[in-house]
Chains A and B, each alone.
Chain A
Amino acid sequence: MSALDGKVAIVSGAAQGLGTAFTRALSEAGAEVIAFDVQDAIAGVAESIESATGNRVLGIKADVSKREDVEQVVATAVEAFGGLDVLINNAGSWRRTPVDSSWEQALEDWHFIMDTNLKGLLMLSRACVPHLQARGGGDIVNISTYYVLPAKSEGTNSPETDLYNASKWAINGFTDAWSKYLAKDNIRVNGMCMGATDTPMLRGLFPDGELPAEMAGTVMQPAQIARQMIDLIADGRSGQNIGAWVGEPIVIPPHPADNRLVSG
């Protein structure tokens, strides 16, 4: 009996990097997974994970920024697997958006980043929540970045990626409000905030996709973050941002004391 036997999970942006690692970890833990992505590669990724774990993985080509796609993914999940227990909001876009870029570029950048990272995350979550409620509980994990954490985030809010940063900061509002509102439904909501992880998104920052030597030896691996995600779901906490920093153990931190939050 594995930790997530009989559970159903949706992972967005699952064709590469962290999304693939999340899908594999959930599948290994016993869950049936709906893995979707805008990239054609999603079909092959789903097949290879399914054949490795023996648990069903349904790969769907779909764009989280498109309402019809989101509705179709969630409907397919519920139809194929009978319900939904876990949502991993992983799909994300990244590009440099310097403050002195042209007006036309700024307008395009807004949609490139926000339609996926913020609007897509909102739409997918809204579509999933009623199904999580219907199961009597579940987990939502929002994938963010380490510079939204006060601890050890020094200096890392990049000046060249204002829109990406804003999209990740905004997720704090969702994680916080959802964890409070959905507590009555036994639905936990947390953020995962990791530093440099060896993904195509990170490799895309460097010429030829090669990590610099000093980074190659220290960068975290997607499978490590995925294990942390499984531990987070097992842990039962809600409303928190879980950090992962290069050079430090990738673990779930102890439960913090209630730090004086008074709900308003």
Chain B
Amino acid sequence: MTVSLKGKNAIVTGAAVGIGPAYAEALAAEGVNVAVCDIREKIMDLPAKLEASGVQAVGWVADVSVPEDVRKVVDGTIEAFGGIDILISNAGKCWVSVPDDDLDKAIADYEGMIGTNLKGEFLMGRAVIEQLLKQARGGEIVNVATDHMVTCGSPNEICPKLEACPWADAPRPTGGGEVMDVYDASKWGLNGFLFAWAKALRPHGIRVNALCMGATDSWMIRDFFGFPQTPGEEDEEQMKEVATWMAKEDTAQVLMNLLKEGPEGRTAQNINLCVGRPTKLEPPLKNIYITEESLNVSA
């Protein structure tokens, strides 16, 4: 049982390069009006492309870590489309950080990565939630996280419920990074929003889920590894690595399938998109951090 997305209104953050535009294009292809933003000027080219699918589209240069910019995007979307149904909090930053970095770098890392990845998703989420509650017609919030925090567990804890995971006996494709502490913290932190929002918003028919992305061919991962941004320009070693990554069109399809579950679909779920597994929407997993019953509470 799936629902049509046609005529709904969505916001996609971080949509200028990488996976963001793939999400925006997939939504437009489903008939969704799409508002996009990015810190890059290039974002202003995207709305015209999206409109070719016969939907409305609008864009802003905006930094999701800046409250005024978030208001500009959310208020602007409401003005342009008359409402919001779907938020895809995709904007993210990623670079190397290690425990013996100095304080100058640590603070810059905090402002950059926690600012965009955690504060940005908080601000966008809260601004959109206010509108969703006002509209009283449900809604969808999807945060974008990382497979460093998938349910089979890092930090390695005693987890008697691991049998709930169909991949319990498979090797983890990644643990957390050794040189990505601030990034990993920003993404682990999203669990706080995932579970709190899913519980608080369930009575309002609003679903909250997160995509725990493994390596996907994108601007960010090419930047992280110092690979050429243009596919085909890699050297032989790089080519082998790139071949293991997921395709952004496939991960966008997973997102569409998630959204099409509609109000009766899963909520409070981290959806695992791990390299080495099929890039598809797996059935909902038994949640190991909260219970189904605990979702039926109201804020």
Contact = CB atoms under 8 A, between A and B. Distances in A.
Contacts of A151: 157-161
Contacts of A251: none
A100 B196 contact: no
Contacts of A180: 175-176, 178
A176 B155 contact: yes
Nearest to B155: A176
Interface residues of B, number: 75
Interface stretch (A10-18, A51-59, A120-128, A210-218): A120-128
Given A99-B126, A100-B130, A256-B156, A166 B106 contact: no
A233 to B, nearest CB: 17
A239 B155 contact: yes
Contacts of A165: 191-193, 195-196
A110 B191 contact: no
Contact of B192 (A98, A168, A260, A262): A168
Interface in B130-166: 130, 133, 148-149, 151-162
Interface stretch (B8-16, B56-64, B96-104): B96-104
Interface in A231-256: 239-241, 253, 256
Contact of A259 (B67, B156, B200): B156
Chain B CB within 10 Å, residue with most, of A98, A150, A151, A261 = A150
Nearest to A255: B158
B177 interface: yes
The range of chain A's interface size is 35 or more
B161 A174 contact: no
A84 B187 CA distance: 30
A178 B154 CA distance: 12
Contacts of B184: 172-174, 176-177
Nearest to A160: B299
B157 A100 contact: no
Contacts of A166: 118, 122, 189-193, 196
A221 B177 CA distance: 35
A159 B297 contact: yes
B290 A157 contact: yes
Given A129-B100, A159-B199, A166-B190, 13 more contacts: A114-B119, A123-B107, A125-B99, A126-B101, A129-B99, A157-B290, A158-B196, A159-B196, A159-B197, A163-B192, A177-B177, A259-B159, A264-B172
Interface of A: 67, 70-71, 98-100, 103, 106-107, 110, 114, 118-119, 122-123, 125-127, 129-130, 133, 147-151, 153-182, 191, 239-241, 253, 256, 258-264
